[in-house]
Amino acid sequence: MNFFERQAAARKTSGRLVLLFVLAVTGIVIAVDLGMLLAFGLREDSTSGKNAVLLALSTLFTLAVIGLGSMYRVASLRGGGETVALQLGGVPVPEQTRDPQLRRLRNVVEEMAIASGVPVPKLYVLEREAAINAFAAGYSPADAAIAVTRGALERLNRDELQGVIAHEFSHVLNGDMRLNIRLMGVLFGILMLSLIGRKILEHGRFGGRDKGAGAVLAVALIAMVVGSIGLLFGRMIKAGVSRTREKLADASAVQFTRQTVGLAGALKKIAGLDAGAKLDHAGDAEEISHMLFGDGVGLNGFFATHPPVMERIRALEPTFREDQLSSLQRRWQSAPPNGLEEDVRLGFAASEGARLPAATAEFSVSPPMVSAQVAHPAADDYRRADAIVVAIPEALRAHAVQREDVIALILGLLLDHDAAVQEKQHLEIAARLGRQAADLAREMHRAHLASLHPMLRLPLAALAFPVLRLRPRPELGAFLDTVHAVVNTDGRVSPFEYCLGTLLQVQVRESLDPGRHAQFGRRQITQARQDIAMLLALIAQNGHATTADAQRAYLAGMQRVLPRDHVDYAPPVDGVRALDTVWPALDALDPLAKQLLVEAVTAAISHDGKISVTEAELLRTVCGVLHCPLPPMLERA
C-alpha cells in the first residue's frame, strides 16, 4: 500500500473503532442493567413499572459515565503528542544537549524528519525506564512527539536506534498516531465504571445500620464487575487495531533504512535482555500499550497489542533460531551491551552521506512515481538528509536552535530578492515584532539565505520548527500575522514564497491546537472542481513562459484528475494569493482523491518533460500544505 491507501485504511479503521466502541458500550449497558435487576429488581414488592424505571436510570447512568469519561480524556489529550509524553514522565531533549546519547538521538530524528519531509518532532526521554521501548504520539506530524526510554539509548547502537525511530516515523506518516490517541480517549470511558467502583469500595464506609450502605455496596460491586468486562473489551479492541499496524510499521522501517539488521538487532536485545520492553515507571503503561514499539505491559493471546518478538525477528531474519537468542542472552548477562561503544567498534559514528544535485539540475519524473513517494522515504532519502544537514551553514544551524533567533530565521526565508519589496517586508516585520527581529531577518537573508541551495530551505525550516513551537502562544500569533503580511506585501510574491508561508502557518496553527485539525478528509474529487482548476492554472502559469505552454500543462493536469470534466484555463487575476480560498477544500479531500491531485500537480509541473530542483521544492511545499509530505528529492538513486 502507498501513503494514500494507508490513509484510507486508517480512516476505515477509525470507523471500525467507532463500531467496536458502540458494541462494547451496548454490552456494558446490558451487563449493568442485568446486575441492577438481580440486585434490586427481583423483590416481592417490585412492579414492572419500578423495574422499567430502574433499567432506564441504570442505562442513563452508564451511558453518562462512559460518555463523560471519554469526553474528559479526549479533552485532556487535545495538546497532542506532548501531552501524552509528559503524562508518562517524559523529559524534553534539549536542542543543544551535550549528552552523547541524546545528541545521537536528535541527529537520527532530525535526519529522518528531513528525509520524510515533515517537521522535526518534539523529543522526550523516559529517564527512569531501563527497558528498550519508544512511542510516537500526536494528531499530525506538526504536533508529533517521539519518546524513547533511557534503556534504548544505552543499549542500542546507531543502526538499531535508526530502526526503532524509523518504525515510529512509520506511525507518524501512516496516520497511526491520530488513531492511537483517539483510541486512548475512547477506551478511557469504558474503564470509568471500574474506576468508580474501585474508588467507592476503597473509600466508602458500609458498617452500621445505614440502609443505604448495602445499596451503595451493591452498585460499587456491579460497577467493578462490569468494569472488568469493559477492561476486557478495551484490551481486545486495542489488540485488534494495533497488531496489524505494528507489522506494517516494521516493514516500513526496513524499507526506510533498506536493511533489516538494525531493527532486528533492537528486537533481539528486547528478547535477550532482562529488562526487555516492559515499562516500570511510566504511569499507566497499559493505556498506551498499543502505541509502544515493544510490548510494554506483557499481555498475551487475544489481548496482545504486538506480535510475539520472535515472530517479528523471524519476519526480518527467517533463519534466526531460539538457540541463537539463548547464546545472546548468556553473553549479555555477563557483559550488557553499550550502544555508544558498539557505534565506535562498528563504525557507526555517522550515517553514510550523499551529494546534493546542483541547484540548476533537472530530472525526469512521472505522476505515479511522485505519488508513490509521498510519505514513503527510502534509504537514499536518508542519505540525502544527512548530506542536507551537513550542507546547511553552521551559522544557520546555530540560529535554528536559538529561541531568540528562530522567528527571524524563518522570516528571512520569506524575504524577496527584490530590494524594494524586501524593504516593505522589513517594515512589516518591524511593525509587528520590533526592529531588532526585522534587522536580524534581513541580515540572515543577505548573509546566507539569499544564496541558499533550494533543497536546503524546507529542511532548515523543519530543523527550526521544534524551537519555534517553544515560543509563547501570543508571540506565535504575532508570528503568523507577520508571515501573512510578509508573503502578501505586494502582488509579486513567488509561488514558493507563498506556499512556504502558507505551510508554516498550517504547521504552527496545528501545533497550537492539534486536536482541532486532526480529521481524515472525506470530500470527493468532483466536489472541488473549481479549487483544483485554480491550483493547476496557477502552477501551470508560473512554470511556463508562454500562455500556450501553460494551457497545455494545465490540461495535462486536469486530464489526470478530472478527465471527463471541462473547466476553462483561467488563472486568477490576483495571482497566488487567490489560493487562500482553495486550501481548506483541497485538504479535506478523501485520501485517494488527494493521490489524484498530487499526480495532477506533478503532471502540470513536469509537462515540459523535466522538473528543476526549484520546481521540485515547490511541489514538495504544495504537498506539505495538503499533508502529503514528499522526501527531499524526487528521483531515486
Active-site annotation, residues: 168
Specify the long-range contacts of residues 472-481, CB closer than 8 Å, at least 24 apart: 473/512, 475/407, 476/508, 476/512, 478/432, 478/433, 479/407, 479/433, 479/508, 480/505, 480/508, 480/509, 481/432
DSSP alpha helix (H) spans, 403-546:
406-413, 419-433, 435-447, 457-468, 473-487, 495-512, 529-543
Identify the bridge partners of residue 125 per DSSP, sorted by sequence position: 91, 148
Q: What angle do CA 110, 115, 116 make, to 5 degrees?
A: 100
Helix axes 3-36, 591-605, angle to 10 degrees: 170
Please choose, from the candidates 531, 511, 512, the residue with its C-alpha nearest in 3D space to the C-alpha of residue 521: 531
Name the 3-class secondary structure at 583. helix
Taking the C-alpha atoms of residue 489 and residue 447, their distance in angstroms, rounded to an integer, is 22
Report whether 590 contacts 523 (CB < 8 A).
yes
C-alpha–C-alpha distance, residues 382 and 362, integer Å: 21
What number of CA atoms fall less than 13 Å from residue 532's CA on the CB side? 32
| Beta carbons of 590 and 535 less than 8 angstroms apart | no
CA–CA dist 441, 426 (Å, integer): 8
DSSP string of 594-616, one letter each residue: HHHHHHHHHHHHTTTS-EEHHHH
C-alpha cell at 368: 505515479
- Residue 244, Cβ neighbours under 10 Å: how many? 12
Give residue 210's Cα distance to chain centre.
54
Cβ partners under 8 Å of residue 240, min gap 6: 20
* CA–CA dist 13, 107 (Å, integer): 33
3-state secondary structure of 122: strand
Name the CA dihedral angle for 269, 272, 273, 277, rounded to a multiple of 10 degrees.
60
C-alpha grid cell, residue 243: 497488531
Residue 372 to residue 3: CA distance in whole angstroms: 7
Q: How far apart are CA 460 and CA 479, in angstroms?
A: 17
Closest to 69 (Cα-Cα) out of 234, 296, 302, 205:
234
d(CA 626, CA 120): 18
Q: Decide: 511 and 430 in contact? Cβ < 8 Å.
A: no
Handedness of CA 84, 90, 92, 93 (dihedral sign): negative
Find the angle CA(400)-CA(406)-CA(409) to the nearest 5 degrees. Answer: 85
The answer to whether the Cα torsion of 374, 376, 379, 382 is positive or negative is positive
Q: What SS3 class is residue 137? A: strand
For the four alpha carbons of 259, 262, 267 and 268, in that order, the dihedral sign comes to positive
